[in-house]
Amino acid sequence: MFRQHVRQLLSTYCHDELAPTEARRVAEHLLVCQRCRGEYEAIKLGIALMRELPTAQAPDTIWPQLEAALTQQTEQTAHDTAPDIAPVHVASPTATQTPRRLAPLFANWARTAAVSFAALVVACLVGGWFYLRPNAPSWEVARLAGAPQIGRERIGERGQLAVGEWLETDNNSRAQISVARIGEVEVEPQTRIRLVETRPTEHRIELARGTMHARIWAPPRLFFVDTPSAVAADLGCAYTLEVDDAGRSLLHVTMGYVALERGARESIVPAGAACATAPGTGPGTPFFEDASDDFLHALAAFDFKQGGDDALKIVLTEARVRDTLTLWHLLPRVDGDERARVYERLAQLSPPPDSVTRDGVLHLDEQMLTRWKDDLESKWLPESFPAVRKAWRHLWQ
């Protein structure tokens, strides 16, 4: 795979101009090739920068000047005078103004009936163009069971979900969405999903309620899911996301990593881990689902029920080596004595690297926290997948 770098294909890939098999090859290569991924980030930045340029409207003064030049040409043609005519130029202190040579044009300019007819044709054509103009971008939706709806219409075996439209399933319906060419989303019953945005550098949906399973084979941070209490940013992975009627959500990651974000609060959730979110709070602290029941209940109380010190004590006591995922995330979420206690327990379970000091961690030195996280990461992924772990570490960085 490394023999076939994809740097030359990256703009084509971002502009969705590659055949599906080729696009998939590029996406898979980007997951494992840091060098190409660096180029991909540059291309994405270039595309994002170009999108910052506003559209421009030509000033109304151009047509009268153009028309004057055309009329001048017509009159000269009629009088069979000199063939050279200079265009009427817009005042421009910097533009170089060069006379243009016009060929004879309008042999029969005064055909009033023809002009009227042409005006009518023009009006019809403009109207027709509005009906025929290109539609908004959309994703294909396949019916898996029941009668999923897009807007108010039930889809048949397949439908198209356009930007801004809602896909809704009832108690008996399920559907599968093709996410551009980068993945798939399975939609469970009682779910409401809206396509918010789809463009080369960002694909975004809103999960208002229900359950979805995502499998994404694109580079990190290309696919986002907005929920009422956080945004799930794909880091190249497979996961399940549930949202209840109160706007709370629960994320289970089955492969790779997902970042849950709201404002400055971020939780990085690796495979095998989960994370809850709640309106007003945002992402809670990620945890492994095989932690003890006491640990899980105490963490939920700490994150969302103001469980305070009592809950924290249980979390620290019950934590295993693998639960350093939770403790590492807790460091910036507590302060004072609580942070010191979290540090001590974390250091007891997995001593920090030599370059990471207690004082630095308690002051939330970003580089030290990152170095410790890099060291801890080996405890968070199954030992049986060293290659996967290495690849995901590259992605995270």
Partner 1 sequence: MEPVALMSDRQIETGVIAACQRGDREAFQLLFETYKDRVYAIALYFFGGNEAQASDITQQVFLKLFTKIAQFRSEAEFTTWLYRLTTNACVDEQRKVRRLSQLDETFTFDQVCVSEAQEAQLARRETAERVKEAVAELKPKLRVAILLKYFEGLSYEEMAAALGCSKGTVASRLNRGHKALARRLQHLRGALRQGD
Q: Does 137 bind partner 1 (CB under 8 A)?
A: no
With CB under 8 A as the contact rule, the residue among 22, 25, 47, 154 that binds partner 1 is 47
- Nearer to partner 1 by Cβ, of 108 and 384: the residue is 108
Stretch that binds partner 1, among 64-72, 276-284, 304-312, 342-350 (CB under 8 A): 64-72
* Size, binding site for partner 1 by CB under 8 A: 74
The three-state DSSP-derived secondary structure of 66-89 is HHHHHHHHHHHHHCCCCCECCCCC
Stretch that binds partner 1, among 99-107, 246-254, 295-303, 340-348 (CB under 8 A): 99-107
- Nearer to partner 1 by Cβ, of 96 and 384: the residue is 96
With CB under 8 A as the contact rule, the residue among 19, 82, 95, 264 that binds partner 1 is 95
Give me the least distance between CB of 160 and partner 1, in Å please. Answer: 18
Q: Does 11 bind partner 1 (CB under 8 A)?
A: yes
Give residues 185-204 in contact with partner 1 (rule: CB under 8 A). 201-202, 204
Stretch that binds partner 1, among 52-60, 150-158, 209-217, 339-347 (CB under 8 A): 52-60
Q: Does 89 bind partner 1 (CB under 8 A)?
A: yes
Q: Does 321 bind partner 1 (CB under 8 A)?
A: no
Q: Does 61 bind partner 1 (CB under 8 A)?
A: yes
- Nearer to partner 1 by Cβ, of 9 and 299: the residue is 9
Q: If residue 374 lies in a helix (H) or strand (E), which one and from where to where?
A: helix 366-380
Q: Does 128 bind partner 1 (CB under 8 A)?
A: yes
- Nearer to partner 1 by Cβ, of 39 and 375: the residue is 39
With CB under 8 A as the contact rule, the residue among 33, 36, 102, 274 that binds partner 1 is 102
Give residues 218-257 in contact with partner 1 (rule: CB under 8 A). 221, 224
Give me the least distance between CB of 259 and partner 1, in Å please. Answer: 12
With CB under 8 A as the contact rule, the residue among 1, 78, 114, 321 that binds partner 1 is 114
With CB under 8 A as the contact rule, the residue among 1, 34, 66, 385 that binds partner 1 is 66
Q: Does 92 bind partner 1 (CB under 8 A)?
A: yes
Q: What is the distance between the alpha carbons of residues 265 and 260, in angstroms, rounded to a whole number?
A: 8
- Nearer to partner 1 by Cβ, of 22 and 338: the residue is 22
Stretch that binds partner 1, among 125-133, 165-173, 291-299, 304-312 (CB under 8 A): 125-133
